[in-house]
Structure 1
Amino acid sequence: MSHDTAQTQTESFVQRSVLVTGGSKGIGRAIAADLLRAGHKVAATYRSGDVPEGVLGVQCDITDPEQVEAAFKAVEDAHGPVEILVANAGITKDGLLMRMSDEDWEAVLDTNLTGTFRVVKRAVRPMMKLKHGRIVLVSSVVALMGSAGQVNYSSSKAGLVGMARSVARELGSRGITCNVVAPGFIETDMTAVLDEDVIKGYQQRIPTGRLGSTDDIAAAVRYLTSDAAGYVTGAVLPVDGGLGMGH
């Protein structure tokens, strides 16, 4: 019986056109590679570097509306209309509030929040015609917990929660879901440069006692983008080892 069930699940898999923003490194790269392994046609935007083998790489700065439009056209020409969008591209410009410049505030909000708005807006019209779509916004545990020195970053990531829930309400009747994944402390190039004492401090605060891996995030995204998650929308899924619990 279990064999039959597995066979049915395999047979019911539908290959879809996927776009992951910020797919050259860290979490975005892992998500793109994972969805490719799952059998989808995957494209990923990047500003520098490269994307995983087998993924269609599209150079794009999401702060530029013309580049966003060109990226979507390139993906549509190669793979058809985007049916799964994972909005992952983001930057940090950390600093204490009293010393944070307007430029550092604006740069982070323009990429993380406004850039995400641009790609979501461009993705939804074809999804509405198809009457199917999966949108996942990659936020952060600090969106709800806050983080000293990250007023700009945490604000931008909190904004994604409001965005996703509004999109979920607008487009739910069209077969489109919009959810948020909120990663905690994940082992990436960004965290590799941190002091050992800082990392140990985090490990002590995380109930699972370890940092997360990019694969942990990719697994959550794979579920939320699957056909099986059609009744999940407007959700915030923390993947943080319990660090933010309830926040």
Structure 2
Amino acid sequence: MKHNGSTPAIAMVTGAASGIGAAATAMLRSRGHRVVACDRDTRITDDPDGVVLDVTDAGAVERAVADAERRVGPIGVLVNAAGILRAGPLNQTSDADFAAMFAVNTTGVFAVTRSVTTRMRQRRAGSVVTVASNAGGVPRHGIGGYAASKAASAHLTKCFGLELAEHGIRCNVVSPGSTDTPMFRSLWPGDGDAAVADAVTGQPERFRLGIPLGRVADPDDIARVVCFLASAEAAHLTMQELFVDGGASLR
């Protein structure tokens, strides 16, 4: 989307320090956007527009958004890319891990989207893209809490989209499959290459299909779709969910 019909809109990206969030930040900047890069990792302050932010703290979110708009300008694009994963069978998932995943992956999306779109409504323009997961659309063994939190964040974003459409705000979802990020490799400590091979071939004993296109995604594969949905090229798309997983979910 364009701000004031000329320069690319100012963007805010959560989870911007690594993985898909970092790739989206870099790609948006390469396309002319100024990006407020947010992450709870304090290394984000190395970025000239970096903001340390815990998306589970609604008060901190509101302060960060208000400060960004005062300091940088009106936010026209929001990318919700912050996320955490605590693997394990549901019967062995602790209350704390389950709550933490929902706090970041779902409630965090709610807090940031509410704060940013409250301001977008006044301007009657804006684009929100939430990075969810194909696990939110297809049951997964061993990551059930994560899958549920991502399914909730995807549906939440679509509900925002329905309520905000009359105000000119589009809200869409990108649901990646296996993507070569630090989060992905953390599931197989010390053997990330084996993790990549395993994701490509699948695990029939756990009812997990492989990837028809034959490779794990690079973060840039996902970032390109994020940038498309944020742009004027997707001007008539809202409440849509794109599964970017090399065909793994057979959608």
TM normalised by structure 1 equals 0.90
Pair 1:79-2:72 in alignment: yes
**Partner Cα separation in structure 1 for residue 48 and residue 238 of structure 2:** 27
Pair 1:154-2:154 in alignment: no
The one of 200, 203, 220 aligned to 2:200: 203
Pair 1:27-2:20 in alignment: yes
**Partner Cα separation in structure 1 for residue 68 and residue 15 of structure 2:** 15
CA contact 1:33–1:52 (8 Å) conserved in 2: no
* Structure 1 pair 92–54 and aligned structure 2 pair: CA distance change class (3 A): closer
CA contact 1:139–1:183 (8 Å) conserved in 2: yes
**Partner Cα separation in structure 2 for residue 114 and residue 241 of structure 1:** 28
Any stretches of 5+ residues in structure 1 without a counterpart? 1-8
* Structure 1 pair 174–146 and aligned structure 2 pair: CA distance change class (3 A): same
**Partner Cα separation in structure 1 for residue 215 and residue 25 of structure 2:** 24
SS for the counterpart of 1:146 is coil
**Partner Cα separation in structure 2 for residue 151 and residue 18 of structure 1:** 31
The one of 222, 232, 235 aligned to 1:230: 235
* Structure 1 pair 192–203 and aligned structure 2 pair: CA distance change class (3 A): same
Task: Say how many residue pairs are matched.
Answer: 236
Deviation at 1:190, TM superposition (A): 2.5
The one of 115, 120, 125 aligned to 2:118: 125
* Structure 1 pair 106–65 and aligned structure 2 pair: CA distance change class (3 A): same
Amino acid at match of 1:201: D
CA contact 1:29–1:52 (8 Å) conserved in 2: no
CA contact 1:17–1:40 (8 Å) conserved in 2: yes
The one of 163, 168, 193 aligned to 2:161: 168
List per-residue Cα deviations over 1:209-245 (Å, max 9, x = no partner): 0110011011001110001211000100111111112
Q: 1:132-151 alignment to 2 at 5 Å?
A: 132-151=125-144
CA contact 1:164–1:179 (8 Å) conserved in 2: yes
Q: State which drifts further: 132-141 or 89-98.
A: 89-98
Tell me the equivalent position of 1:3: none
Amino acid at match of 2:8: Q
SS for the counterpart of 1:210 is coil
Tell me the equivalent position of 1:38: 31
**Partner Cα separation in structure 2 for residue 35 and residue 244 of structure 1:** 27
Tell me the equivalent position of 2:108: 115
Amino acid at match of 1:202: A
**Partner Cα separation in structure 1 for residue 56 and residue 47 of structure 2:** 26
**Partner Cα separation in structure 2 for residue 21 and residue 55 of structure 1:** 15
**Partner Cα separation in structure 1 for residue 238 and residue 135 of structure 2:** 21
Q: Could you tell me the percent identity over the aligned residues?
A: 35
RMSD (Å), alpha carbons: 1.8
Tell me the equivalent position of 1:4: none
Deviation at 1:53, TM superposition (A): 7.2
CA contact 1:24–1:52 (8 Å) conserved in 2: no
Amino acid at match of 1:21: T
Deviation at 1:79, TM superposition (A): 1.7
Amino acid at match of 1:89: A
